[in-house]
């Protein structure tokens, strides 16, 4: 069967893993015109930057790669290393945009998570698994973004092609 969907590799972006008390990050996020998502397991955007709330006292900042050095410097200056962790993870994840009318059906082949909009709403973010790999899943207006360990990127691309039927 062929599905009306496509899985397109995403360009590498700045990814900064933030762990600790939210007060530690508030100043730096304010300087970026970002605030914390109001609900757990949600994303919030400001321009090309996104903040994912992925666990208790755990966020992931995604921004254009060109901003990496500036963002690392901002967080290094604003955050106490004693009370928080700021780790650059940009090159560790490969991302795919899964889009199209049948994107949800293709994702159901890869992932056990209930991705119905009632269970996983717009801007939903969570760790799950896809094709047996730990993955970060983000719901988008036109589908999903899925991130997994970069070393598995070619394998995921192949699995998506097989699942879609291309």
Per-residue pLDDT of 40-64, as tens digits, reads 999 999 999 999 999 999 999 999 9
Top CATH class of 6-10+92-164 equals alpha beta
Backbone torsions φ then ψ of 10, nearest 5 degrees: -90, 145
Which of the four pLDDT bands, split at 50, 70 and 90, describes residue 123? very high
Could you identify the residue written with the tokens 């899943």? 137
The mean pLDDT value for 75-100 works out to 92
pLDDT of residue 9: 97
* pTM: predicted TM-score of the whole model, two decimal places: 0.93
Backbone torsions φ then ψ of 141, nearest 5 degrees: -60, -30
The mean pLDDT value for 134-158 works out to 97
Burial (CB count within 10 angstroms: exposed 0-12, middle 13-18, buried 19+), residue 38: exposed
**Domain spans of the chain?**
6-10+92-164, 14-90
What CATH code is assigned to 14-90? 3.30.70.1520
Task: Say whether 14-90 and 6-10+92-164 share the same fold.
Answer: no
The mean pLDDT value for 110-129 works out to 95
């Amino acid at each position: 069967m062929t599905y009306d969907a496509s899985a397109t590799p995403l360009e590498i972006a700045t990814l900064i893993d933030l762990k600790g008390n939210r007060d530690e990050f508030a100043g730096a996020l304010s300087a970026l015109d970002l605030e914390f998502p109001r609900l757990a397991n949600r994303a919030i955007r400001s321009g090309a930057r996104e903040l994912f709330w992925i666990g208790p006292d755990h966020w992931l900042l995604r921004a254009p790669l060109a901003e990496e050095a500036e963002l690392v410097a901002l967080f290094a200056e604003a955050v106490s290393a004693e009370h928080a962790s700021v780790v650059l993870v940009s090159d560790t994840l490969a991302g795919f945009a899964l889009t199209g009318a049948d994107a949800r059906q293709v994702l159901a082949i890869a992932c056990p998570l209930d991705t119905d909009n009632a269970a996983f709403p717009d801007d939903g973010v969570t760790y799950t698994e896809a094709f047996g790999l730990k993955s970060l899943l983000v719901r988008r207006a036109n589908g999903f973004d899925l991130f997994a360990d970069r070393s598995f990127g070619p394998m995921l691309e192949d699995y998506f092609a097989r699942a879609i039927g291309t």
